[in-house]
Amino acid sequence: MTVKERYRQVIEWFKTAMPVAETELRYENPFQLLVAVILSAQCTDKRVNMITPPLFEAFPTPEAMAAATQDDIYEYIKSVSYPNNKARNLLGAARMLVEEFGGEMPSDMDDLIKLPGVGRKTANVMLAVVWGKAAMAVDTHVFRVSERIGLTTNSKNPLQTEKQLCKYIPEDIIPLAHHWLILHGRYVCKARRPDCLNCGLTGVCRYYRRENKEKTNNEI
C-alpha cells in the first residue's frame, strides 16, 4: 500500500465514522480558548473544564487577567499540573495581549508564539480552531496515532510529524483531521493498550499488521 493510498483510506474512514470532530475544551471566545489550551498541557481536558468556569468569571478578558497577580490566578488553577508555571504564563500572555496587541488575539504563528506559554502546538490549535487555518497541532495523541497507523514514518519530533501530515492531508480538512487523530488517540488508540477490536482502521494500520504478524509467527 502506498502512502497516498493509506491516507486516502484513513481520511475516508474518519469522514464516515467521525464527521463532526472538535475540541473538548469549553470556551466562548479566542482568549478563553488560549487560556484553556495553556492549562491543558500535560493535563486532561476534563480537569481543565472543571476549573475554567470560575477562572473565566473572575478574568473574562485579557485586561482583567492582566490586572491580576500571579497568586490571584494560581488560586483558580492550583489543581492542574504545574500551576505555578501556568499562572505565570497566563499572566504574561494576558499582559502581552493588552500591551502589544490591543487586547486582540493575533492570528499568525509568529505573533502567537511570542506569548508566554505558547509554543508551536498551542499556536496551531488557535490557528486551526479559531481561524480554520490549515494548521496541524501535534500533541502526544496525534504523534502516537500517526506513527502507529503509518501516516508518518520514523518521525522524531512533533514538527516532523506536522510536516508529514500536512504533506498528504488536503488543506481544507487539516483542522478537522487534527481532531480526528486526537479523539481517536484519546478513546480508541490509547497509549498503553490500543483498542484494536473496536477500531475501523485495522485494515490499513501498520501497527495492527505488525502485531498480528508477530503473534502468528510466535504461534508457529
| 3-class state of residue 135 by DSSP | coil
pLDDT of 217 higher than 90: no
Residues 114 and 99 in one domain: yes
* Confidence band of 220 (pLDDT split at 50, 70, 90): very low
Q: Taking residues 170-199, what's their average pLDDT?
A: 95
Which residues span the domain enclosing 148?
3-21+136-219
The pLDDT tens digits for 78-98 are 999 999 999 999 999 999 999
Measured between alpha carbons, how far is residue 197 from residues 172, 189, 200, 201, 216 in Å?
31, 10, 8, 10, 17
Tens of pLDDT, residues 49-66: 999 999 999 999 999 999
Share the mean pLDDT of the chain: 94
Residue 212: its pLDDT value, please? 82
User: Is 196 labelled as part of a ligand binding site?
Assistant: yes
111 and 85 belong to one structural domain: yes
Residue 65's SS3 state is: helix
User: Are 144 and 108 members of one domain?
Assistant: no
Of 131, 153, 188, the residue that ends a domain is 131
Other Cβ atoms less than 10 A from the Cβ of 206: the count is 16
**Which positions are catalytic?**
121, 139
Residue type, 88: R
What confidence score (pLDDT) does residue 213 get?
72
Domain count, the chain: 2
DSSP type of residue 104: P
Is the same domain home to 44 and 61?
A: yes
Please check whether residues 112 and 73 belong to one and the same domain.
Answer: yes
**Whether residues 155 and 70 fall in one domain:** no
Which pLDDT does position 214 carry in this prediction? Answer: 60
- Whether residue 160 is found in the same domain as residue 119: no
CATH assignment at residue 38: 1.10.340.30
- Same structural domain, 67 and 39: yes
The answer to whether the annotation marks 166 as part of a ligand binding site is no
Q: Summarize the confidence of residues 159-176 as an average pLDDT.
A: 96
What grid cell was written down for 220? Answer: 508457529
User: Both 34 and 92 in a single domain?
Assistant: yes
Q: Is the pLDDT of residue 114 over 50?
A: yes
Do 72 and 152 share a domain, yes or no? Answer: no
Q: Are residues 176 and 206 located together in one domain of the fold?
A: yes
Indicate whether 40 and 121 sit together in one domain: yes
Question: Final residue of a domain: which of 131, 152, 169?
Answer: 131
What CATH code is carried by the domain that includes residue 199?
A: 1.10.1670.10
Give pLDDT, residue 218: 53
Among the candidates 131, 147, 171, a domain finishes at 131
189 known ligand binder = yes
